[in-house]
Amino acid sequence: MVFPSEQEQIEKFEKDHVAQHYFEVLRTLISKKSVFAQQVGLKEVANYLGEIFKRVGAEVEIDESYTAPFVMAHFKSSRPDAKTLIFYNHYDTVPADGDQIWTEDPFTLSVRNGFMYGRGVDDDKGHITARLSALRKYMQHHDDLPVNISFIMEGAEESASMDLDKYLGKHADKLRGADLLVWEQGTKNALEQLEISGGNKGIVTFDAKVKSADVDIHSSYGGVVESAPWYLIQALSSLRAADGRILVEGLYEDVQEPNERELALVDTYAQRNPEEISRIYGLELPLLQEERAAFLKRFFFEPALNIEGIQSGYQGQGVKTILPAEASAKLEVRLVPGLEPHDVLEKIRKQLDKNGFDKVELYYTLGEMSYRSDMSA
């Protein structure tokens, strides 16, 4: 099969009125902040999605009884034997804060060199509009749909879909009997091949906090008084080896090891490799695993302890000679089958105590189990 070139696709897009319309819809969606972590714009965007789906004939239900509204849109076929397809998407995004480098306003859709840029353009507002525009194109040329189509759109995916299970249970009668579920997006590898996901890592996120004194202390006491940031840094360092292995007793005992077929599939089809990762992200530090087999096993089948951010002390202009009294960090563990979020955090708590860092306070924020599909089919 011969696919059109990138330039041919752009020219076709520019002549396509439906595509142009939904490009403007996407522009509007990108301009509307909907950040669950900050509780910003969720209701507004949910209502906007309800409006654009109603315009093309969908039956829309917006359920506001959760932390973020759910939007369900139904397109019914008149065929009595029609099968049912469900599209899952989410309209929330991660923040676009000052710790990230943007060349333009992240909430203004821009196009450069054939690529679209904006917070949520790929994850996941762009996929909502792409699917809706494809459906609208089909409806332009056909009197009826061959299948029933339902869209489920949530606003808390970036926070582990905290209410999704409850929502699905509440609306089970409407969704039961569906024949196919298509998840939020698809990907292509470096060879332009469509990828099939064999699973997803889970996650547990938590905050670590240390208070070393009632007030910041003059730095002249630095040789005799411990500071919160030094204590926290040493505590976190005790949890991970230099090669990235997690130093928490009992953690790896629970990990479900990959079987030979899973390892073989990854070895054959995985396009991620040390060289590509270094090139794409412009890495300045050495990889934790540079040999390909070890790199792939660590990436796909092993847990990882990550620091999302650290905060302490003075960060303004000039100098402030203090020993900060407080320090905090946001952390996560990427989970694999066999690991349960709360149990992992409990093991970390015990390890910190054993290492002599009982003054570090841990606060669970969210967790999601991992899964791995049976790839022997």
For residue 29, give the 3-state DSSP assignment.
helix
Alpha-carbon distance of 254 to 259, in angstroms, equals 15
Do the domain assignments include residue 193?
no
| Residues 340, 289 within the same domain | no
Please report whether residue 191 resides in a domain: no
How far is residue 23's CA from residue 12's CA, in Å, rounded to a whole number? 14
* Residue 351 contacts residue 362 (beta carbons within 8 Å): no
Sheet of strand 361-368, all strands in order from the earlier edge strand to the far edge: 304-312, 326-335, 202-211, 361-368
- Residue 12 pLDDT: 67
Q: What average pLDDT does the structure give for the chain?
A: 93
- Domain of residue 118: give its range: 6-182
Quick one: pLDDT at residue 71?
98
| Angstrom distance (rounded) from CA 288 to CA 295 | 8
For residue 231, pLDDT over 90 is answered with yes
Please count the structural domains in the chain: 3
Cα distance between residue 284 and residue 281, in whole Å:
9
288 and 231 in a common domain: no
Domain co-membership, 153 together with 130: yes
| 136-194: pLDDT as tens digits | 999 999 999 999 999 999 999 998 898 999 999 999 998 988 999 999 987 777 677 78
Residue type (1 letter), 195: E
- The residue among 324, 109, 296 whose CA lies nearest residue 227 is 324
Pick from 182, 217, 243: which residue ends a domain?
Answer: 182
In a domain, 319, yes or no: yes
Higher pLDDT, 156 or 276: 156
Per-residue confidence (pLDDT) for residue 10, from 0 to 100 = 60
